[in-house]
Amino acid sequence: MKLQEALHKLKEQGVRLTPQRQEVLRILIEEAGGEEHLSAEEIWRLVRKRYASISFDTIYRTLNLFVRCGLASELDFPDGCRRFEFAGNGHHHHLVCLKCGRAEELAFCPEDCLIRAQFEKPGFKITGHAFKIYGYCPKCQQVSDGSSHHS
């Protein structure tokens, strides 16, 4: 199962497997289940169920560690806080609702653009990319101001 693989990957990199780290990882994989993109605060709330005294600092340090180790991806949606997802479900991009903040995953990726970029700016060493499409999800279009407010 994914959690075991991920724990193994951490160990390989010489990272200590504290119970807090394991629980954060478990939540990223199981609670989020490829469906939600959790903010640090949401993760903190979930971890607190088992580790009532875990600090915000530990959540952030752990998430940043996971990002560095390639186990998590950081998503900056336009609602003021970073969100995180497990990185073991393959590379993908997002369709983000500007009202409710929820994100759906997209099955395609503009990777041909990387080649074009490499051609256009030869000296630049490309390490990653992000593609986001913004708009309003079906649910938020039904609510009165989902599609009609200009502010």
Tell me which residue of 25, 14, 21, 18 sits closest to 71, measured CA to CA: 25
Kindly indicate which of the ranges 2-10, 25-33, 50-58, 106-114 contains the residues binding a second copy, using the contact rule CB under 8 A. Answer: 106-114
Q: Does 142 bind DNA (CB under 7 A)?
A: no
Residues 6+ apart with CB under 8 A from 81: 39, 40, 41
User: Would you say 137 is a known binding-site residue?
Assistant: yes
The one of a second copy, DNA, none whose footprint includes residue 73, by CB under 5 to 8 A per kind, is none
Query: What backbone phi and psi angles, to 5 degrees, belong to 84?
Result: -130, 150
d(CA 128, CA 47): 30
Kindly indicate which of the ranges 3-11, 31-39, 46-54, 101-109 contains the residues binding a second copy, using the contact rule CB under 8 A. Answer: 101-109
Q: Does 64 bind DNA (CB under 7 A)?
A: yes
Q: Does 137 bind a second copy (CB under 8 A)?
A: yes
* C-beta of 45 vs 129, nearer to a second copy: 129
Q: State the CB neighbour count (10 A cutoff) for residue 20.
A: 18
| Matching residue, tokens 């997209």 | 106
- Give the x-and-dash track for 107-136 against DNA (CB under 7 A): ------------------------------
* Contacts (CB under 8 A) with a second copy, residues 112-131: 113-114, 116-117, 120-121, 123-131
d(CA 135, CA 106): 14
**# residues near a second copy by CB under 8 A:** 37
The one of DNA, a second copy, none whose footprint includes residue 90, by CB under 5 to 8 A per kind, is none
C-beta separation of 130 from 110 below 8 A: no
